[in-house]
A and B are shown apart, each in its own frame.
Chain A
Amino acid sequence: MGQGGKGGGDGMNIGSFFTDPTNWSGPSGIPQLTAYHLYLTVLAVVIGAVIAIPVGAFIGHTGKGSFLVAGFANGFRALPELGLLILFVELIGLGVVPVTLALVVLAIPPFLAGTYSGVNNVDSAVIDAARGMGMREWSILFRVELPIAMPLILAGLRTAVLQVIATASIAAYIGTGSLGYFIFLGENTRNYTIMLGGAIVIAVLALVVEGLLVLVQRLVVSPGLRSVRQRRRVVRSSSVTPSTMDVETAGGTSSS
C-alpha cells in the first residue's frame, strides 16, 4: 500500500485539498459524497430502528427472551464491519443492497441493547402503579415505559449512527460512493493530502451529527428524567445525558 508522504509541507497542502474546486463539484465532490453518505446512514438507521426497537421493547417489557439481548449483544459487537461489507458484496453483488444490509446488521445491536435496558430498567413500582391504576399493557408500554426509556433509546440511536457513519466510510473500499472515497483514492494514488482531507471531512461530519443528536436528546427527553438513576448501576452517573458509551456497557453486560 502507499507510503503516504510526510514532511512539513503537508500543512500547506491540506489547504489545497479544500480550495481545489474539483473536490467540491460533480459526483465525487464533497457535497455529493456527503449527501450519499448521509442517505446511507439515515436509511440503515431507520431500518435498524424499525426492526430493533419493537423487539427490544417487547423483550424489556415482558422479560421473555432476555437471553437474546445478553447473549447476542457481545457477539454482535464483535462483528467486523469490513468483513460484513465484503461478505455481503460477494454474496449479493455490488450496489446499495449489500452495503445497506451490512449497515442495518450493525445498526441493530445498539438499538436492541438501548431499548431493552431502557425498558427493563424502568422502576417496577412505577409499572405496578400504572397497572393498579387501570392502564392496559399496551398503554403502559407506550405511555410509560418507552418515554422513561427514551434516554437510553436515544443513546442507542447515537451509537447506531456512529457505527453506521464509520462503516459507511469504510464502504468506499468496495466502491460505495461515500466520503471514504477520498481516503482510498489517496491511498491508491499515494496522495496523502487527499487521504487526510477525506479523513477530516468524515471527522467533521461525525462530530456535527453527534452534536445534533445530543441536542435532540436534550430536547426530547422529559425534564423529569434528567437525573437518570438506573437500577443496579452507578448512583452518580458520569453525565446526565446518557451517551453512546452508556449503551455499550448497559446492554450487553447483564450476564456479568
Chain B
Amino acid sequence: MIEFQAVTKQYDDGTTAVRSLDLRVQDGQITVFVGPSGCGKTTSLRMINRMIDASSGRILIDGKDIRESDPPLLRRGIGYVIQQAGLFPHRTVLDNVATVPVLTGTPRREARKRAAELLELVGLPTGAAKRYPAQLSGGQQQRVGVARALAADPPVLLMDEPFSAVDPIVREGLQEELLRLQAELAKTIVFVTHDIDEAIKLGDKVAVFRQGGILAQYDEPSVLLANPADDFVSSFIGRDRGYRALGFLTASGLNLGAVPCVRFGGTAAAAKSQLEDGWAVAVDENNRPLGWLSAARLSTVGDETEVTDGLLISGGSLYHVNPGQDTTSGSLRAALDSALSSPSSHGIAVDGSGAVVGCVRAEDVLAALSAARDAGKVPS
C-alpha cells in the first residue's frame, strides 16, 4: 500500500504543486490521478519513486518511509512508464525490456528470456524483439515501455499519461490491454491522466485533483459519477454524467424481447413475411447481425429480389449479454445505447459468439434502472 501523509511540494519560486495530500493507494488496484494541467497529479506520481522529493510530509510504501531508501534502488523495484516511452534508441527492443533485470544483477541470457515472455504478454509480435525502437510505431513503443516496466516484476507500477500521445483507436487498444494485464497480474498501479473518461474506464479508484495541487475527491468511479463532491468535480466530469453512470450497472437481469431474424440472401418476399412492426434483423449463417430490414425499403423492390447489402440499414451499437472481461458492454448503458442507436428503436442483444439472442427496448432499461435503485444498488 502506498500512503501519502500530508505531502506538500513547493518550489523555490513560491508555486505549490501539491498541497497537503493525504491519500492511500490500495494494493492490487488501479488508482488514477486525474485533473487539469497544473493540478499536481504528475508531481504526486513522481514523488512516489523520488523523481521529485516532497517539501514536507511523508510517503510510505508498505509502511516504510521512502526517504530511507536510496533513490536508484527504490526505483528498481517500481515500474515507470512515461508518455513518450523513453526507450533507449541505441538498444534493441529486447535489450530495452531487459534493462532493469540486468541492472539488478540477473544474467543477461535469463533477462532476455524473461524479456521475450513479456513482449508476448503485452501483445507484440515475436519479430519485434530484434528491432530498434525507431522502427516501431507509437503504440508499439508504448507496449515496449510497459513490458520494460514489468520486467523486474515490481509490485508497483507508475504510469504517467502513457497513452496520451497515441491516436484514439490505438489508445483504446492499449487501455484494453492494460485491463487484461491487470486481471492477470494484479499490480498496484498508479495511473496519471488528464482524460476523465480514461480515468473512469481504467480506475478502480479515482483521485480528482484541482489546480494548485489540492485533492478534490477520491472515490470509486461510480460514486464519482453519482456524487461529485463539488462544482469543480462535477464540471470536470463533464456532461452526460447520469448516462455514463449507467456503465457501472450490470444489465444481467434485463428481460429480452424476441426479434425476427431473416437469413441474408433470401428473397425480399420471404423477408417481408417475417417483419414485425415493420422491422427484422438480417443475420448471417451463424446468426450474427448484419443490419436491419425495413418494410419501407423492402416495398421498393420486387418480391423475387435477393436480400443483399444495398437493402440493409446499418444497425446501432450492440448489447453483449455475456460480456466476459469488458463489463461495460454488458451494462445498462450498453443496453440503453443499443436501443437508442437502433433505427428500429429495438437494441440488438448478442451472446458470447456474437449471435443474436433477442432485443432490448429503452423502456425496459429504465425499468431495470428503477428496480436497481429500489434494491439499493445505485450509489447515491
Contact = CB atoms under 8 A, between A and B. Distances in A.
B257 interface: no
A241 B350 CA distance: 57
Contact of B80 (A133, A136, A222, A226): A133
B258 interface: no
B99 interface: yes
A134 B84 contact: no
A22 B72 CA distance: 66
B315 interface: no
B72 A126 contact: no
Given A135-B72, A135-B103, A136-B72, A123 B86 contact: yes
Which of under 10, 10 to 19, 20 to 34, or 35 or more describes the interface residues of B? 20 to 34
Interface string B120-137: 000000000000111100
Interface residues of A, number: 24
Contacts of B51: 128, 131-132
B19 interface: no
A130 B88 contact: yes
Contact of B84 (A125, A130, A222): A125
B90 A133 contact: no
A170 to B, nearest CB: 38
A47 interface: no
B103 A224 contact: no
A217 B149 CA distance: 32
B91 interface: yes
A68 interface: no
Interface string B2-35: 0000000000000000000000000000000000
B133 A224 contact: yes
Interface in B218-269: none
A132 B145 CA distance: 12
B132 A223 contact: yes
A147 B90 contact: yes
Given A129-B82, A130-B88, 14 more contacts: A125-B83, A125-B85, A126-B87, A126-B89, A128-B86, A132-B82, A132-B158, A134-B71, A134-B103, A148-B89, A222-B89, A224-B92, A224-B134, A227-B134
